[in-house]
Structure 1
């Protein structure tokens, strides 16, 4: 999915996304007392378990599908850009010490490569070709699973990774925080954890 070339079109597109929605009730959050800010953020965090609970059937189905492939020697590969990519790399790096997996069994790919873990690599997230190249470097097989991660669900790198992996016969999962995302649509298992404007306690109040 490519972004509109017209800035107005891009702004209009972003305004439809839950993750990009303006929250007028939070417009002056910086003027609140520190404790009130902490309480407000903690209250917003409380919406997350409920949002996850609503997607448990999809999550369980994805887990079963991943486990079946890993039992046949397949790998779990995360692919994302920016913060989403960093979280995938973090999870992959924690699997060996936490679950005693082989370091090659769970892999994290981030747009822009290892440097992007600590420094922003401009433009990397917008390249589907880069995702294909990164996956080809891993010699993807049909027993592997690729999980595209993107909060917005529209990041080309994550979508490109899922599209390419699916063509190679690998299992694909799209993880995002917006409903009806392009990433979820591109994957066999689309998991959308919507925790933004429409699901928060402040919005429901």
Structure 2
């Protein structure tokens, strides 16, 4: 029971901070200004780890590599802690694979959160201070869907279709993660 509690707490804390690091990367890549409440929250959650990394790894153009590196390091430390808590059972070589899958899961879950909040705000309060930020973050995901799926009775179902597609990707990721672990274990490393 204690292991499940620690795993849950680590998932929440690391997921929140690594997700904020990925959001920082995505906001910079999409050129979303950080002077809004979302940007301020992202800075508050990530400055402690991103700013020291920025000194060693400067940002190149629109890609904020220190934010990506921070997210990778966080999930790698999480996997290492979980590996140590299990009594060092299994191969240590599985940790990078597990960290990569965990990071992909955080990214997909974050995109689902963006789409969900954007869809709800577009129905309830389309002129809220963060509606424009969420629209700019969700547009790259929704534009291709809007080209394929027309409005139905003036209702835009692109966010719903995007959420379904992201959920399917999470299912595929779980399968790929299990396949990768089986391959690592079967090699005996």
Asked if these proteins are the same fold (TM beyond 0.5), I'd say: no
Comparing both structures, which one devotes a greater share of its residues to strand? 1
TM-score category, normalised to shorter length: under 0.3
Q: TM-score, normalised by structure 2?
A: 0.27
Comparing both structures, which one devotes a greater share of its residues to helix? 2
